[in-house]
Structure 1
């Protein structure tokens, strides 16, 4: 590891643990939902609400991120992320009733949503241009690792007993309670992070920002030139800053591109596989309740492996090429899965198709979305735009999480599509994502945030 960048790597890795919380908190429900539904006697809508309530929290946390990170700074926002997830892990494991469960599941979601709006911005602001793509990729890698970790925890808990009554009463509590461990760990680690130099400069603390820059980039780094360049982007339109809109004429094009990317990403259906994987595998007839846990681990391994590959290849191939290839392959695989389900096919080959879908999503759309959005967002509106983009990311996730069990249980849709309708819908969104990247997304590799900000302001 280049010693000039060693501190950037270390701090980025710590901040990216916020992604592990996201992966763990969102995917833990995949193992718990069947037992939780039995415990609270939930119907299809209630089951969807048990899953999607965390995404509602994501949306609240993501939108509030622009105010919290501006007022408190990136570091304190990340500490708060750990606190909220820690509390959610404890209280969702021991709720008095379903309302209390929903409340604290939403609280955990607020923490994760805040972290998702803050961590990529923080990493993007402390990393040098030469390694920014890789360090931002750490966030998605941690999301994938959190998903894999929680699938392994769920499989372990499921192996503790074969009594259905025990599973209904206790298994889901252990699964959800385990979430408090990474929450507590991140809360402690976040105290060691320095504040973002760009946030410090924005708040007129240049001396402190200069010291942090030297620790990040080496003692020979020209801090004064960098500080003046950053200040110029903040103060270029100082009189207009309080009224700066993400939809103003100079920002409108990049804003609409980013918001479209954000909304479509999760509408590609990734959460149907990650959140409902156990139920999905059982419904299409390729797994039993027990074996579904282990097949989910296979999916988790594929997702993590793809994220690790993306971290090490994103600087080589660039963002745009990977997005184009990945979105098209996701379109082909998820559509093929829908065709096989429509035909009533039951084959382990369907698991292979799901793994292919996971590999391409996890190696392209998943990580690069979090890399390219903070890169494309101009300095003057980065906090606002990142919060709106993250809100739309979670909006797409909420739509998929809430509607998937309702679509799969619809008698009308099942008569017409035999359970395949959601997958054709996700395939359409993948194709729209492909067209968006093909015609609207520019390459950002090897450019400083200030260069990108200037280019996007002229667009």
Structure 2
């Protein structure tokens, strides 16, 4: 009997893992499209004669689309379902990818990047949300974090692609053609994502929300087995009865803290500087005296560290919990950024020293804020408004990303790398204290249990900033 139960459990995990991996491919598109510009920007700067502000716009125009996509993802996902909207996002991504590769004008490139960005904004919101809604509570952290693993895989792969393409011809070929190929190869993961989406089920929680519980039950049966599946249907239905589904519900005393935590972590993930390094890594390494090829190779090393430590995070997130990873990671990021800033302040930054601490910084981010923020954003909001609420947090994340990517080149040029990295270090320190005071532990709880955690604080609305220890204690009782 035990053997058959274990076998059933393995079969269930195979199903949910495969489905989660398909949805996580949206993260691969995210990683590819955000990082591909790091190898192309040098060639594009010469091709279109860009100034510093235009260089920032070439990078951040994608993020304008991401903000739009993230803003609409919740409403669209709640109305049409997670699966259909993700299919639409894959199509938008491919249109943007092809459009970015063929323009003869800078404005044509910008339009294409915004279109692709809309697709990325949708996937960045709905892919982790979909995985959270389909995953068993015990494994939800690692299954949602697959999205971040796919993202860093996309970043890592694109560094190799950029290096290979840039070495295919001379400098003139790079300016005229190489950057086009860098963008164009994105059609491959986009097409793969689109095709595989037709083979995954719709979110069972969305189906129940639409009054289609009979359609959700076969999906839940594959995940949990008969007894737990039927109980989960009842729990989900009960949670919907207690919710209005209105955005105004998020500002109620019961859920205000959830909104603050979701939006706060989303913003901190970006303003601590990770995408400044990912987008502009070759340019940063050039500041230390590295040549073009050396800086691209060092950038690949950044991608490798990001990839390996994200795998470590997936292993740890359901073992040690979300909060512990955030605290350790943000503290380590603070130290690394201060050291990098001090190295540049000396006037003669050592290439190896800066490289080592950038790698340590990336490792710290990859094991903490990188995957954990997306996991928390996808699980802390109630069922009926999860789509809209996650969209608000995701839109906040992309807005912060836009501000960082748009201001980083001018800031690097005017204030210098020392001040820039010191600012990022200060913001990492704020992230540590925000996590310590505001973020509860959600490891091992079902989405409905997390929802009741916030609801249990309905009568404790004396202040927005409750004692985190009380939350932790209540969460252990649930």
Write the distance in 2 (CA, Å) between the matches of 1:241 and 1:176.
40
Normalised TM-score (structure 1):
0.95
Residue 175 of structure 1 pairs with residue 179 of structure 2: no
Write the distance in 2 (CA, Å) between the matches of 1:180 and 1:399.
28
> Given the alignment, which residue of 229, 233, 241 partners 1:235?
241
TM-aligned CA deviation for residue 284 of structure 1: 2.4
Q: Deviations over 1:257-313 (max 9, x none)?
A: 21111111100000111000011111222x211111111110000000011111111
Write the distance in 2 (CA, Å) between the matches of 1:10 and 1:28.
27
Whether the 8 Å CA contact 1:158–1:290 is kept in 2: the answer is: no
| Residue number in structure 2 paired with 1:432 | 430
Q: Deviations over 1:425-459 (max 9, x none)?
A: 11111011100111111111111100000111222
Whether the 8 Å CA contact 1:327–1:431 is kept in 2: the answer is: yes
Write the distance in 1 (CA, Å) between the matches of 2:434 and 2:161.
37
Which stretch shows the higher mean deviation, 24-33 or 378-387?
A: 378-387
| Residue number in structure 1 paired with 2:162 | 154
TM-aligned CA deviation for residue 363 of structure 1: 1.1
Write the distance in 2 (CA, Å) between the matches of 1:86 and 1:367.
25
Write the distance in 2 (CA, Å) between the matches of 1:341 and 1:2.
52
- Which secondary structure state, in structure 2, belongs to the residue aligned with residue 420 of structure 1? helix
| Residue number in structure 2 paired with 1:404 | 408
Q: How many residues align?
A: 448
Normalised TM-score (structure 2):
0.92
TM-aligned CA deviation for residue 94 of structure 1: 0.3
- Which secondary structure state, in structure 1, belongs to the residue aligned with residue 10 of structure 2? coil
Residue 370 of structure 1 pairs with residue 374 of structure 2: yes
Whether the 8 Å CA contact 1:86–1:182 is kept in 2: the answer is: no
| Residue number in structure 1 paired with 2:124 | 116
| Residue number in structure 2 paired with 1:323 | 326
Which stretch shows the higher mean deviation, 377-386 or 295-304?
A: 377-386
| Residue number in structure 2 paired with 1:293 | 296
- Which secondary structure state, in structure 2, belongs to the residue aligned with residue 194 of structure 1? coil
TM-aligned CA deviation for residue 315 of structure 1: 1.2
Residue 447 of structure 1 pairs with residue 445 of structure 2: yes
Residue 201 of structure 1 pairs with residue 204 of structure 2: no
- Which secondary structure state, in structure 2, belongs to the residue aligned with residue 138 of structure 1? helix
Structure 2 residue ranges without an equivalent (≥5): 1-8, 458-478
- Which secondary structure state, in structure 1, belongs to the residue aligned with residue 317 of structure 2? helix
> Given the alignment, which residue of 25, 29, 33 partners 1:21?
29
> Given the alignment, which residue of 77, 88, 92 partners 1:84?
92
- Which secondary structure state, in structure 1, belongs to the residue aligned with residue 50 of structure 2? coil
- Which secondary structure state, in structure 2, belongs to the residue aligned with residue 316 of structure 1? coil
Residue 339 of structure 1 pairs with residue 342 of structure 2: yes
Write the distance in 1 (CA, Å) between the matches of 2:239 and 2:224.
21
Structure 1 vs Structure 2 CA RMSD: 1.3
TM-aligned CA deviation for residue 243 of structure 1: 6.2
TM-aligned CA deviation for residue 246 of structure 1: 1.6
Write the distance in 2 (CA, Å) between the matches of 1:336 and 1:322.
21
Write the distance in 1 (CA, Å) between the matches of 2:87 and 2:454.
32
- Against the structure 1 CA distance between its residues 399 and 315, is the aligned structure 2 distance closer, same or farther, given a 3 Å change threshold? same
Write the distance in 2 (CA, Å) between the matches of 1:137 and 1:206.
27
Q: Deviations over 1:133-168 (max 9, x none)?
A: 11011011111100001001001101112x221110
Write the distance in 1 (CA, Å) between the matches of 2:149 and 2:231.
33
